[in-house]
């Protein structure tokens, strides 16, 4: 299939696909007229990338998964590099959650100070 169809089926823009290729995450064959040519495995690959992006991974984070799939594995999760990324991202997320809780507490404290009785509970008194 060509880039337009892959884009439709994967739910992304053609620009995104070209960007993934530029970043070395997607390698397209070319037909004689220069058009990019993709197959089902590419669709799967793009789906994997999208799935990872939606949970906050960067394209760099996604790279090991892509390479894992390319290496012939049925899933991008199947390689130790991928597992390592999962662990790292999990730690990052936990750190972000901690940071957000800290900020939440500070903001809530300021709000309470500025407006006593204003926020008895979270989102309570609108």
Partner DNA sequence: CTTGACCTTGACGTTGACGTCAAGGACTAG
Partner DNA sequence: CTAGTCCTTGACGTCAACGTCAAGGTCAAG
Interacting residues with DNA (CB under 7 A) = 2-5, 12-16, 18-20, 28, 32-36, 53, 57-60
Work out how close the CB of 106 gets to DNA at its nearest, in angstroms, rounded to a whole number. 17
Give the orientation angle of helix 14-22 with respect to helix 40-54, to 10 degrees.
90
Which one of 3-11, 15-23, 32-40, 88-96 is the stretch in contact with a second copy (CB under 8 A)?
88-96
Nearer to DNA, 62 or 68 (CB): 62
From the list 65, 66, 61, the residue with the least C-alpha distance to 25 is: 66
The answer to whether the CB of 5 falls within 8 A of the CB of 35 is no
What's the rounded Cα separation, in Å, for the pair 26 and 20? Answer: 6
Cα separation of 103 and 83, whole Å? 30
Site for a second copy, rule CB under 8 A: 55-56, 75, 77-78, 82-83, 86-87, 89-91, 93-94, 96-97, 100-101, 103-104, 106-108, 110-111, 113-115, 118-119, 122-123
């Amino acid at each position: 299939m060509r880039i337009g169809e892959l884009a439709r089926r994967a739910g992304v823009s053609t620009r995104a696909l070209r960007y993934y290729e530029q970043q070395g995450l997607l390698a397209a064959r070319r037909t004689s007229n220069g058009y990019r040519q993709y197959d089902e495995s590419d669709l799967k690959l793009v789906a994997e990338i999208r799935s990872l992006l939606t949970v906050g991974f960067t394209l760099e984070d996604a790279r090991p998964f892509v390479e894992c799939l390319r290496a012939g594995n049925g899933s991008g999760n199947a390689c130790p590099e991928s597992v390592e990324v999962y662990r790292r991202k999990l730690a990052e997320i936990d750190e972000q959650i901690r940071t957000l809780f800290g900020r939440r507490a500070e903001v809530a404290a300021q709000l309470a100070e500025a407006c006593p009785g204003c926020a008895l509970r979270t989102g309570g008194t609108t």
